Amino acid sequence: MFRLNEKIAVVTGGGSGIGKAVALLFAKQGAEVHIIDRNEEACDAAIKEIQQADGKAFKHACDVTIQQQVKNVFNEIGKVDIVVNSAGISYIGNLESTSESDFDRVFSVNVKGVYNCMQAAVSIMQKNKSGVIVNLASIANNIGLQDRFAYSMSKGAVYAMTLSVARDYIDKGIRCNCISPARVHTPFVDDFIKRNYPGREDEMFEKLSKSQPIGRMAKPEEIASLILYLCSDEASFVTGCDYPIDGGFITLNN
Protein backbone atom coordinates (compact mmCIF):
# COMPACT_ATOMS: atom_id res chain seq x y z
CA MET A 1 0.00 0.00 0.00
CA PHE A 2 0.91 3.65 -0.52
CA ARG A 3 3.48 2.90 -3.21
CA LEU A 4 4.32 5.67 -5.66
CA ASN A 5 6.02 3.57 -8.33
CA GLU A 6 6.34 5.36 -11.69
CA LYS A 7 4.99 8.58 -10.15
CA ILE A 8 6.78 11.88 -10.72
CA ALA A 9 6.51 14.09 -7.65
CA VAL A 10 7.44 17.74 -7.18
CA VAL A 11 8.14 18.93 -3.63
CA THR A 12 8.69 22.62 -2.99
CA GLY A 13 10.83 23.51 0.00
CA GLY A 14 12.18 19.98 -0.16
CA GLY A 15 15.62 20.87 1.14
CA SER A 16 14.65 20.93 4.79
CA GLY A 17 11.93 20.37 7.37
CA ILE A 18 8.61 18.88 6.30
CA GLY A 19 9.48 19.17 2.61
CA LYS A 20 12.64 17.12 3.06
CA ALA A 21 10.77 14.45 5.02
CA VAL A 22 8.22 14.26 2.20
CA ALA A 23 10.92 14.00 -0.46
CA LEU A 24 12.72 11.21 1.41
CA LEU A 25 9.53 9.24 2.00
CA PHE A 26 8.25 9.63 -1.54
CA ALA A 27 11.56 8.40 -2.94
CA LYS A 28 11.47 5.44 -0.57
CA GLN A 29 7.99 4.61 -1.86
CA GLY A 30 9.20 4.55 -5.45
CA ALA A 31 8.55 8.06 -6.78
CA GLU A 32 10.90 10.08 -8.92
CA VAL A 33 11.27 13.19 -6.77
CA HIS A 34 11.97 16.71 -8.01
CA ILE A 35 12.94 19.12 -5.25
CA ILE A 36 12.34 22.83 -5.73
CA ASP A 37 14.21 25.00 -3.25
CA ARG A 38 16.09 28.30 -3.15
CA ASN A 39 18.72 26.84 -0.83
CA GLU A 40 20.90 24.84 -3.20
CA GLU A 41 23.17 23.52 -0.45
CA ALA A 42 20.25 22.08 1.52
CA CYS A 43 18.74 20.73 -1.67
CA ASP A 44 21.99 18.97 -2.59
CA ALA A 45 22.14 17.36 0.86
CA ALA A 46 18.57 16.05 0.57
CA ILE A 47 19.20 14.64 -2.90
CA LYS A 48 22.41 12.97 -1.76
CA GLU A 49 20.52 11.30 1.09
CA ILE A 50 17.88 10.04 -1.32
CA GLN A 51 20.43 8.73 -3.79
CA GLN A 52 22.40 6.96 -1.05
CA ALA A 53 19.19 5.05 -0.30
CA ASP A 54 18.90 4.10 -3.99
CA GLY A 55 16.16 6.64 -4.63
CA LYS A 56 15.74 8.88 -7.64
CA ALA A 57 15.83 12.66 -7.12
CA PHE A 58 16.59 15.85 -9.00
CA LYS A 59 17.33 19.42 -7.92
CA HIS A 60 15.73 22.58 -9.25
CA ALA A 61 16.98 25.89 -7.87
CA CYS A 62 13.93 28.12 -8.10
CA ASP A 63 12.20 31.01 -6.35
CA VAL A 64 8.53 30.01 -6.16
CA THR A 65 7.50 33.67 -6.01
CA ILE A 66 8.71 34.24 -9.59
CA GLN A 67 6.14 32.77 -11.96
CA GLN A 68 8.35 32.41 -15.02
CA GLN A 69 10.99 30.51 -13.02
CA VAL A 70 8.30 28.13 -11.78
CA LYS A 71 6.88 27.59 -15.26
CA ASN A 72 10.35 26.90 -16.64
CA VAL A 73 11.00 24.26 -13.98
CA PHE A 74 7.69 22.48 -14.52
CA ASN A 75 8.16 22.54 -18.29
CA GLU A 76 11.64 21.08 -17.80
CA ILE A 77 10.27 18.27 -15.63
CA GLY A 78 7.52 17.50 -18.15
CA LYS A 79 5.10 14.94 -16.76
CA VAL A 80 4.00 15.67 -13.20
CA ASP A 81 1.78 13.36 -11.15
CA ILE A 82 2.10 14.86 -7.66
CA VAL A 83 2.83 18.30 -6.27
CA VAL A 84 3.41 19.04 -2.60
CA ASN A 85 3.56 22.75 -1.80
CA SER A 86 5.70 22.81 1.32
CA ALA A 87 7.73 25.99 0.75
CA GLY A 88 6.72 28.71 3.16
CA ILE A 89 7.84 31.27 5.70
CA SER A 90 6.54 32.43 9.06
CA TYR A 91 6.22 35.85 10.61
CA ILE A 92 5.50 36.96 14.16
CA GLY A 93 3.41 40.08 14.67
CA ASN A 94 -0.13 41.39 15.06
CA LEU A 95 -1.97 43.71 12.67
CA GLU A 96 -0.31 46.90 13.89
CA SER A 97 3.23 45.57 14.10
CA THR A 98 3.17 43.95 10.67
CA SER A 99 4.79 46.28 8.16
CA GLU A 100 3.64 46.47 4.56
CA SER A 101 6.91 44.97 3.35
CA ASP A 102 6.64 42.03 5.76
CA PHE A 103 3.01 41.46 4.77
CA ASP A 104 3.96 41.47 1.10
CA ARG A 105 6.86 39.07 1.73
CA VAL A 106 4.68 36.52 3.53
CA PHE A 107 1.98 36.81 0.87
CA SER A 108 4.50 36.43 -1.93
CA VAL A 109 5.97 33.17 -0.63
CA ASN A 110 3.02 31.51 1.10
CA VAL A 111 0.22 32.52 -1.25
CA LYS A 112 1.68 33.52 -4.60
CA GLY A 113 4.23 30.70 -4.42
CA VAL A 114 1.46 28.11 -4.02
CA TYR A 115 -0.58 29.77 -6.76
CA ASN A 116 2.39 29.73 -9.15
CA CYS A 117 3.13 26.04 -8.55
CA MET A 118 -0.49 24.92 -8.76
CA GLN A 119 -1.07 26.86 -11.96
CA ALA A 120 2.03 25.35 -13.59
CA ALA A 121 1.11 21.86 -12.38
CA VAL A 122 -2.55 21.91 -13.40
CA SER A 123 -1.73 22.83 -17.00
CA ILE A 124 0.39 19.67 -17.19
CA MET A 125 -1.88 17.39 -15.17
CA GLN A 126 -4.90 18.13 -17.35
CA LYS A 127 -3.15 16.62 -20.34
CA ASN A 128 -2.89 13.30 -18.47
CA LYS A 129 -6.35 13.66 -16.90
CA SER A 130 -4.88 12.89 -13.48
CA GLY A 131 -2.86 14.47 -10.73
CA VAL A 132 -2.67 15.16 -7.01
CA ILE A 133 -1.86 18.39 -5.19
CA VAL A 134 -1.32 18.69 -1.46
CA ASN A 135 -0.84 22.13 0.08
CA LEU A 136 0.52 22.88 3.53
CA ALA A 137 -1.94 25.04 5.38
CA SER A 138 -1.86 25.39 9.18
CA ILE A 139 -3.94 25.31 12.33
CA ALA A 140 -3.72 29.10 11.86
CA ASN A 141 -6.43 28.88 9.20
CA ASN A 142 -8.79 27.24 11.69
CA ILE A 143 -8.23 29.18 14.90
CA GLY A 144 -6.84 32.53 15.96
CA LEU A 145 -3.18 32.40 16.98
CA GLN A 146 -1.65 35.29 18.87
CA ASP A 147 0.79 37.46 16.89
CA ARG A 148 0.40 35.52 13.67
CA PHE A 149 -1.59 38.03 11.61
CA ALA A 150 0.21 37.80 8.26
CA TYR A 151 0.96 34.10 8.61
CA SER A 152 -2.68 33.30 9.42
CA MET A 153 -3.79 35.37 6.44
CA SER A 154 -1.53 33.41 4.13
CA LYS A 155 -2.58 30.00 5.37
CA GLY A 156 -6.25 30.94 5.20
CA ALA A 157 -5.63 31.77 1.55
CA VAL A 158 -3.96 28.39 0.99
CA TYR A 159 -7.02 26.65 2.44
CA ALA A 160 -9.38 28.66 0.22
CA MET A 161 -7.26 28.06 -2.90
CA THR A 162 -7.25 24.34 -2.14
CA LEU A 163 -11.05 24.17 -2.10
CA SER A 164 -11.29 26.24 -5.28
CA VAL A 165 -8.86 24.08 -7.24
CA ALA A 166 -10.50 20.88 -5.96
CA ARG A 167 -13.88 22.13 -7.20
CA ASP A 168 -12.73 23.50 -10.56
CA TYR A 169 -10.65 20.48 -11.60
CA ILE A 170 -12.53 17.52 -10.14
CA ASP A 171 -13.80 16.62 -13.60
CA LYS A 172 -10.23 16.78 -14.95
CA GLY A 173 -9.06 13.93 -12.73
CA ILE A 174 -7.12 16.25 -10.41
CA ARG A 175 -7.42 15.95 -6.64
CA CYS A 176 -6.42 18.80 -4.33
CA ASN A 177 -6.25 18.67 -0.53
CA CYS A 178 -4.41 20.47 2.25
CA ILE A 179 -3.18 19.60 5.70
CA SER A 180 -3.09 21.82 8.79
CA PRO A 181 -0.19 20.98 11.09
CA ALA A 182 0.36 22.42 14.54
CA ARG A 183 3.94 23.07 15.64
CA VAL A 184 6.45 20.71 14.00
CA HIS A 185 10.02 20.27 15.25
CA THR A 186 12.12 21.45 12.32
CA PRO A 187 15.39 23.40 12.05
CA PHE A 188 13.20 26.51 11.67
CA VAL A 189 11.88 26.04 15.22
CA ASP A 190 15.36 25.55 16.65
CA ASP A 191 16.64 28.65 14.86
CA PHE A 192 13.64 30.68 16.03
CA ILE A 193 14.18 29.73 19.67
CA LYS A 194 17.93 30.36 19.48
CA ARG A 195 17.43 33.75 17.87
CA ASN A 196 14.65 35.00 20.14
CA TYR A 197 15.45 33.32 23.47
CA PRO A 198 19.24 33.10 23.82
CA GLY A 199 20.23 31.19 26.93
CA ARG A 200 16.69 29.90 27.41
CA GLU A 201 16.57 27.43 24.54
CA ASP A 202 15.70 24.33 26.57
CA GLU A 203 13.08 26.16 28.61
CA MET A 204 11.34 27.58 25.56
CA PHE A 205 11.51 24.32 23.63
CA GLU A 206 9.73 22.56 26.50
CA LYS A 207 7.15 25.35 26.77
CA LEU A 208 6.37 25.28 23.05
CA SER A 209 6.21 21.49 23.07
CA LYS A 210 3.73 21.43 25.95
CA SER A 211 1.49 23.93 24.20
CA GLN A 212 0.33 20.94 22.15
CA PRO A 213 -2.24 18.89 24.14
CA ILE A 214 -0.40 15.71 23.17
CA GLY A 215 2.64 17.08 25.02
CA ARG A 216 5.16 17.39 22.20
CA MET A 217 5.76 18.80 18.75
CA ALA A 218 5.16 16.71 15.66
CA LYS A 219 8.04 15.08 13.82
CA PRO A 220 8.39 15.99 10.13
CA GLU A 221 8.16 12.28 9.30
CA GLU A 222 4.69 12.13 10.88
CA ILE A 223 3.49 14.96 8.67
CA ALA A 224 5.05 13.29 5.63
CA SER A 225 3.13 10.08 6.32
CA LEU A 226 -0.22 11.86 6.08
CA ILE A 227 0.87 13.59 2.87
CA LEU A 228 1.94 10.22 1.44
CA TYR A 229 -1.54 8.83 2.06
CA LEU A 230 -3.24 11.80 0.39
CA CYS A 231 -0.98 11.46 -2.67
CA SER A 232 -1.40 7.71 -2.98
CA ASP A 233 -3.94 5.78 -5.03
CA GLU A 234 -5.48 4.61 -1.75
CA ALA A 235 -6.80 8.17 -1.30
CA SER A 236 -8.35 8.35 -4.78
CA PHE A 237 -11.76 9.28 -3.31
CA VAL A 238 -10.39 12.17 -1.24
CA THR A 239 -10.45 15.73 -2.57
CA GLY A 240 -11.35 19.20 -1.32
CA CYS A 241 -10.44 18.35 2.27
CA ASP A 242 -8.31 19.90 4.99
CA TYR A 243 -6.69 17.48 7.42
CA PRO A 244 -5.64 18.84 10.84
CA ILE A 245 -2.57 17.03 12.18
CA ASP A 246 -2.13 18.90 15.40
CA GLY A 247 -1.83 16.67 18.47
CA GLY A 248 -5.33 17.74 19.52
CA PHE A 249 -4.57 21.48 19.35
CA ILE A 250 -7.74 22.66 17.59
CA THR A 251 -10.32 20.62 19.47
CA LEU A 252 -8.71 20.10 22.88
CA ASN A 253 -7.47 23.65 23.45
CA ASN A 254 -10.94 25.16 22.98
Percent of the chain clearing pLDDT 70 (strictly above): 100
- pLDDT of 195 reads 84
209 pLDDT band, cuts 50/70/90, is very high
Question: What integer best gives the mean pLDDT of the chain?
Answer: 95
Query: What is the set of active-site residues?
Result: 151
254 pLDDT band, cuts 50/70/90, is low
Calculate mean pLDDT across residues 44-65. 96
- Pick the residue with more confidence: 215 or 191? 215
Q: Look at residue 184 and tell me whether its pLDDT is greater than 90.
A: yes
**Does residue 110 contact residue 155 with C-beta atoms inside 8 Å?**
yes
CA distances in angstroms from 116 to 10, 25, 250, listed in the order given: 13, 24, 29
Question: What pTM was estimated for this model as a whole?
Answer: 0.95
* Domains of the chain, earliest start first: 8-182+220-244 (3.40.50.720), 184-217 (no CATH)
Alpha helices in the chain (DSSP H): 17-28, 40-52, 67-77, 100-107, 113-128, 149-168, 187-196, 201-210, 220-231, 249-252
Calculate mean pLDDT across residues 173-177. 98
- CA 203/CA 200 separation, integer angstroms: 5
- pLDDT of 192 reads 81
